[in-house]
Amino acid sequence: MTKTDYTNAGQQRLLSVIRVLAGNEFDGLSLTSIAKSLNEKAPVVKRDLENLKTAGMGEQDGRTGHWRLGPKFIQIAIAHFDHVNRTESRMAELKKRYSIG
């Protein structure tokens, strides 16, 4: 099997939706603007957004109808950042422990 055998267009599009939403957590983006930026039809992108919502990784603002990354996605990012910080602290301790002088 080649690498491309594992690539799925729908999954790649969903990842593109996430990239488009990133950085727009406060105001969100309209379905139309997301679809336009991906050069996709709105109903297709709407399905992707609803899948993100079901997973807790996307949400729709009830007031504006705009979409943004959801709490679960942000929690994953924070967990990653926390892990990096803990690892840096451990590395600093090891460096101090093994340094001369």
Q: Please report which confidence band the pLDDT of residue 42 belongs to, taking 50, 70 and 90 as the band edges.
A: very high
Burial (0-12, 13-18, 19+ Cβ within 10 Å), 44: middle
pLDDT number for residue 2: 63
**What pLDDT score does 53 carry?**
95
- Amino acid 100: pLDDT: 81
pLDDT of residue 39: 97
For the chain, the average pLDDT equals 92
Confidence bin at 16 (pLDDT 50/70/90): very high
Q: In the predicted model, what is the mean pLDDT of residues 14-43?
A: 96
